[in-house]
Amino acid sequence: MHDIGLVRLSHIIKDYCGLSFNERLSTLKKKVDNRITELGVTYSDYCEYLTRNPLEWDIMIELVTINETYFYREENQLIECSSVVLPMLKKKRFGGPIRIWSAACSTGEEPYTLAMLIQETGQFLPGSIEIIATDINKRVIEKAKKGWYHQGSFAFRRIPENLLKKYFTPIDSGYQIKESIKKMVNFQNLNLLNKQNTSQIGEVDIIFCRNVLIYFDQMTTKQVIDSLHENLAPDGYLFLGHAESITDSDLGFQKAYSENTFYYRKETNQNETVPYFSSR
């Protein structure tokens, strides 16, 4: 039997950011025990403390979120986006920039990789693509904004050597991403479950929300997908993690396949097919 205060804390966390620890209370306990001891309170007291001290959520979010990521992660999707989806959208857009939203971007490796690959195509003028990168964890957003990564970091485990040499400068036992890449990305703190937050992003053409839904229950997943659907332009695209899939036909997406990966296109009318892709 778990402490009733710990159970209550799991419900509060789920309501706040969607992370579900209901079936993983032991994991939650390991994550927050040191903070509980530091404050000298019970779990029930801590629930009240969160209510009275909203800034404590910044500490809690750092404790419970998982920020494991790296450059060039699930590269087939990134390459598909830069070499196929973006050129296709470019033909449809006149005047305004193409907008990409990297949701749950952690320390910035995903949006920076997209920026590098976009530059590698040589098909887009400066300012023609806008990348918005968001995360609920304020600390990782600040790290992402700096664009500096330790040379022994897990972040570089998959990046091709040519991209590392071209887009990073060795500085202080690490690598600083070059300014031409940094200025392509706008980092913001954002809670995906806060409708007011997500509405401020505005309409976007592409959303990357990878390896996030696996931490949500079915109801929260639907809530997040509905919100992302609202932000997407009528012919926009959604990239999820390889272990994630939208199986509910009522969620408003069509699955799009390429040779090496799959992703989703916002549904239009029933007579319109997904261009350049096969359905199966």
- Residue 249's pLDDT is 54
Q: What is the largest CA-CA distance in the chain?
A: 62
Could you tell me which of 206, 185, 180 has the C-alpha nearest to residue 135? 185
- pTM, two decimals, is 0.89
User: What pLDDT band is residue 152 in, cutting at 50, 70 and 90?
Assistant: confident
Out of 87-96, 133-142, 263-272, the most confident range is 133-142
Residue positions counted in the chain: 280
* Residue 276 vs residues 87, 179, 257: alpha-carbon distances, Å: 12, 35, 9
User: What pLDDT band is residue 280 in, cutting at 50, 70 and 90?
Assistant: very low
Q: What is the pLDDT of residues 113-139, one digit of tens each?
A: 999 999 999 999 989 999 999 999 999
Strands 98-102 and 129-135: parallel
Q: Which residue has the tokens 């998982």?
A: 66
How far apart, in whole angstroms, are the C-alpha atoms of residue 271 and residue 280?
Answer: 16
Q: Which residue has the tokens 């790296």?
A: 70
Give the percent of the chain with pLDDT over 70.
93
User: What pLDDT band is residue 269 in, cutting at 50, 70 and 90?
Assistant: low
Could you tell me which of 135, 136, 146, 212 has the C-alpha nearest to residue 175? 146
How far apart, in whole angstroms, are the C-alpha atoms of residue 245 and residue 12?
Answer: 26
How far apart, in whole angstroms, are the C-alpha atoms of residue 236 and residue 253?
Answer: 10
How far apart, in whole angstroms, are the C-alpha atoms of residue 85 and residue 96?
Answer: 17
